[in-house]
Structure 1
């Protein structure tokens, strides 16, 4: 990882929620700075997100896996969340499995790393662990939603074996619609290494 110490990825604990929430806000502000209104991004509140997540954290532990990357000093430098697919038109807004669908598809809900560590291999290590866990849970496919204009993220996911599957959605960023595309990785998809 560019001469840095090896990445340590572990399951998140409730005590990590504040650090994860702060990382999430920094990640959004960095990744979407040219795609979403500045007022929307500046209005994001890490403390409010942590409080909301704390309310559901214990109840969703059976279905949602939160992973954190931790540096040698114990600082959380990355976060990813995996769970059941939220449905055909779920986008970032959620939704459920379609009626009659067997619901064996998984979804990567989020993957963020500290902006200064983008390109260091940290995101690949987190994604490799997400894929490993999805395979262990026998998820049929792994899906994710990405902002259409987020070219860096789209290249990252394509290099990891994900491809657009034709599904589209609109995310409401404070009154501004942001187009999202869904990417899918079939079982055993090529391209992903943790290195």
Structure 2
């Protein structure tokens, strides 16, 4: 397997990021989200959203990183300052996904390590992320990386779906 490069995402990455985004949702959330919703995910629609995110990021964004192997994007993460009132002062990993063909190859860990370092460098000594209830693969991954479930939960309403999620936190200073 060739070397994995972690770098900042740029607008020209939007189509490939969207492809990873859609394929990973369709694989990871099968049986957790209505299949009609998963089947209806559109790479062109997601790419348009990613072009907006990359050209005009939210004010809370610290970064969007991609994992690249042989010129192809095989994963991505977005992160920044916490968006929850309760997590004011914390960092947050907004999303992290690897192409299903790259699961268990170290892509997710490399992206998460880089995001944690960037969040720490931005002055946040603690961070949190949200995991879809029932996503046992993700829960096990985050647990191995030192992220601990803290008992908080929420329901995120999105068009056509309600996502029940639970929070995991990690103290970054000295990790």
Which residue of structure 2 lines up, in the alignment, with residue 92 of structure 1? none
8 Å Cα contact 1:82/1:109 also seen in 2: yes
1:126 paired with 2:111, answer yes
Which residue of structure 1 lines up, in the alignment, with residue 27 of structure 2? 30
1:69 paired with 2:67, answer yes
- Structure with bigger strand share is 2
Total equivalences in the alignment = 174
Matches of residues 103-122 of structure 1 in structure 2 within 5 Å?
103-122=88-107
Structure 2, unaligned runs of 5 or more: none
Tell me the distance in 1 between the aligned counterparts of 2:20 and 2:47: 11
1:143 paired with 2:128, answer yes
**What whole-Å deviation, never above 9, does each CA across 1:122-153 have from its counterpart, x for those lacking one?**
11111110111111111131110001100110
In 2 relative to 1, CA 41–26 (structure 1 residues): closer, same or farther, beyond 3 Å?
A: same
Which residue of structure 2 lines up, in the alignment, with residue 44 of structure 1? 41
* Cα RMSD (Å): 1.9
TM-score (norm 1): 0.82
Question: Which residue of 17, 21, 31 maps to 1:20?
Answer: 17
Tell me the distance in 2 between the aligned counterparts of 1:189 and 1:150: 28
Which residue of structure 2 lines up, in the alignment, with residue 181 of structure 1? 166
Question: Which residue of 154, 159, 162 maps to 2:144?
Answer: 159
Which residue of structure 2 lines up, in the alignment, with residue 79 of structure 1? 76
TM-score (norm 2): 0.90
**What whole-Å deviation, never above 9, does each CA across 1:6-41 have from its counterpart, x for those lacking one?**
321000000001110111000100100010111011
Structure 1, unaligned runs of 5 or more: 88-96, 191-195
Which residue of structure 2 lines up, in the alignment, with residue 93 of structure 1? none
In 2 relative to 1, CA 156–175 (structure 1 residues): closer, same or farther, beyond 3 Å?
A: same
